[in-house]
Amino acid sequence: MVKRLIAFFTFVIILGFSFQSIAQLTQEELAERGKWEKFLRTAKIIKGVDIGEGITKPKRLFFKKGDIEGSGVWKRPSGTDAGVFDKWECEIAAYEMDKLLGLNMVPPTVERRYRGRKGSVQLWFPLEISELERLKQDIPIPPDKLESCEKAIYLHRAFDSLIANSDRTLQNIRYTKDWRLILIDHSRAFRSSRFYTDKLIYGKYGSRKDKCFERLPRAFVEKIKSLDFEKIRKAVDFYLTYSEIEAILIRKKLLLKEINEMIKEKGEDQVLY
């Protein structure tokens, strides 16, 4: 009995450590994720205003349902609007992949009609500063947050490499007031052309070789290993095409290959935590 209790509490401690290693959303925010998904889908739209930034011309929609009020970013880019590849469906697919991988860095994002048109709406999240603003204003990351911010950056690079998100700029790397990294803007993700399946975006062999993912949580890597076509299809529903899902699986192999090389070179404890 005592051994079983020790094993149980050991499991809980490990699970809690894994959660803290990955999640940027708090446990309270994650517990309310389903509530906000339903709210964004069903609440009455009070008004919509232009956000004023981004070529996809996003709008901020304000909602109310009973005593609950909230807002979200609504997008409807499609195809090659503004001369670049953009799909609102990718915003939802990125959120579902975030949940599937246990990443917990993307705010709730669902499909919602606005003025008769389908689009994606993402819960408005209180983000204090972008990496671009931080660098321009020469604002240092607090010493006690340096390690967690570094790990979060490595995580976003691995995630963006897997989903081929080519639009992660300094402007959309954004931090909360307590220096948690929240990932937004995924309408240019899930590319399936050879350029995005021959190599990753980040990493030693990637398009941006100077930006690597040097340390990653074991739990995250195990989730990537477990990905298969049916699991992804079930998660993303019909927001991604078959070729886009196949492209994820090709990049999965590239990502795991590089992680394995890193482990051979540096040792597992220096790469995974």
Give per-residue pLDDT as tens, 225-240.
999 999 999 999 999 9
**What is the reported pTM?**
0.89
Contacts 24+ apart (CB under 8 A), 80-84: 81/55, 81/56, 82/55, 82/56, 84/55, 84/188
Distance from C-alpha of 63 to C-alpha of 72, rounded to nearest angstrom: 8
Distance from C-alpha of 123 to C-alpha of 70, rounded to nearest angstrom: 8
pLDDT recorded at residue 23:
72
Distance from C-alpha of 191 to C-alpha of 179, rounded to nearest angstrom: 30
Domain limits, the chain? 25-123, 129-271
Do 102 and 220 contact (CB within 8 A), yes or no?
Answer: yes
Do 79 and 130 contact (CB within 8 A), yes or no?
Answer: no
> 3-state class of 63 per DSSP?
strand
Q: Which two tokens stand for residue 157?
A: 């690079």
pLDDT recorded at residue 16:
40
pLDDT recorded at residue 76:
93
